Amino acid sequence: MADDKPLPFAAHTQALMDSIRRAGFPPISQQPVEMARKAYAAGVGAMAHPPVPLPRVEPFTIPGPAGDIPARLWASTHDKDLPVFLYLHGGGFVVGGIDTCAAMCSQVAHQSGAAVVAIDYRLAPEHKYPAGLEDCMAALRWLVEHGHTKHLDASRLAVGGDSAGGTLAAILAVLARDADIPLKLQALFYPSVQVGVRTESFMTYGRATFLNAELMKWFENHAQGGHLSERWHREPLHAPDHRDVAPAWIGLAQCDPLTDDGYLYADKLRAAGVPVELQVWPGVIHDFINMGRFLPEAAQAHTALAEALKKAFAA
């Protein structure tokens, strides 16, 4: 891309980025991990709408491979046999948690009629990847085997996530197929599906937005170090076979270093015969789904995801 070519940021996206830069906050990648986590949580808290008040918001725990996994359930009703959507937060496997995805999870529960469950999977660097993936798979298995104790219908089950959470959800979809766990949908917001590849979107937006090359390297450096039995357990694009995984809904931001990852994964799934619905929001940046106070596209994306879930659970 020519350096003088204007980038297609929407006016409100550019205004938000300019405002954040004027505030002079230090980049996450230049902070100690605990400070980075607090900074990310504070940023999401300032930019996302508050969670929707719902009649059922339930904290609980799920047994995991290294102890109990904190979880939270949102539902718009106390009805029994609700379909369930396991949602995995973003944050590069290092930052983020249940609270940073609560606004979206509550909206999706409100609009879809499904129960949404989010978990605090283990984070790096204290717990090197794939510790977080192991927790996510444990949560998925628990919902299948014990979801009825929460009045959930495990025969109508979907997984999803954003950014690193989208990566985890894509991997879970393959693992679920291999474990004979039927999923109705895998819903992926701008997932990272490979490591170290300089795509066109990476080259274009890897310097121009807050998810830049420096921050992505910071995330990977903190996360790496655990034992990966398979490369695709971090890079789902390279799974040996994508046939018969769950149908996919993929939501992308146009102005995002990871946009091409989303396109590549959609192409890989389609080539394997997997139904894929792809939506791209023009002019917005990575993590836009958590910027609803400033970017109207966030609410549009929440509604689009809720509609995709309603359709998948009705099939």
Over 80: is that where the pLDDT of 270 sits? yes
Tell me: pLDDT of 4 over 80. no
- Give catalytic status of residue 29 as yes or no: no
Structure-token pair, residue 107 = 């909206």
Residue ranges of the domains in the chain?
A: 11-314
The structure's pTM equals 0.97
- From 29, 110, 127, 256, active-site residue: 256
Cβ-proximal residues to 98 (8 Å cutoff; 6+ apart), any chain:
70, 71, 72, 89, 118, 119, 120
Residue 41 and residue 35: Cα distance in Å, rounded?
Answer: 10
Catalytic residue, from 242, 286, 287, 302: name it. 286
Per the rule left: phi > 0, alpha: psi between -120 and 50, beta: everything else, 206 is alpha
**11-314: which CATH number, 3.40.50.1220, 3.40.50.1820, 3.40.50.880, 3.30.2010.10?**
3.40.50.1820
Per-residue pLDDT reduced to its tens digit, 170-218: 999 999 999 999 999 999 999 999 999 999 999 999 999 999 999 999 9
pLDDT digits (tens, 9 = 90+) for 127-181: 999 999 999 999 999 999 999 999 999 999 999 999 999 999 999 999 999 999 9
User: How far apart are alpha carbons 149 and 240 in whole angstroms?
Assistant: 36
User: Would residue 256 show up in a list of annotated catalytic residues for this protein?
Assistant: yes
Query: What is the per-residue pLDDT for 3?
Result: 54
CA 296 to chain centre: 19
Active site includes 260?
no
Fill in the DSSP letter of residue 194: S
Q: Could you read off the pLDDT of 110-128 as tens digits, one per residue?
A: 999 999 999 999 999 999 9
- 131 contacts 223 by C-beta, under 8 angstroms: no
Average pLDDT over residues 252-256: 98
Indicate which residue of 163, 192, 261, 302 is catalytic: 163
- The answer to whether the bond into 70 is cis (omega within 30° of 0) is no
List the strands of the sheet with 185-189, edge to edge. Answer: 56-64, 67-75, 115-119, 82-88, 152-162, 185-189, 248-255, 276-285
d(CA 142, CA 151): 13
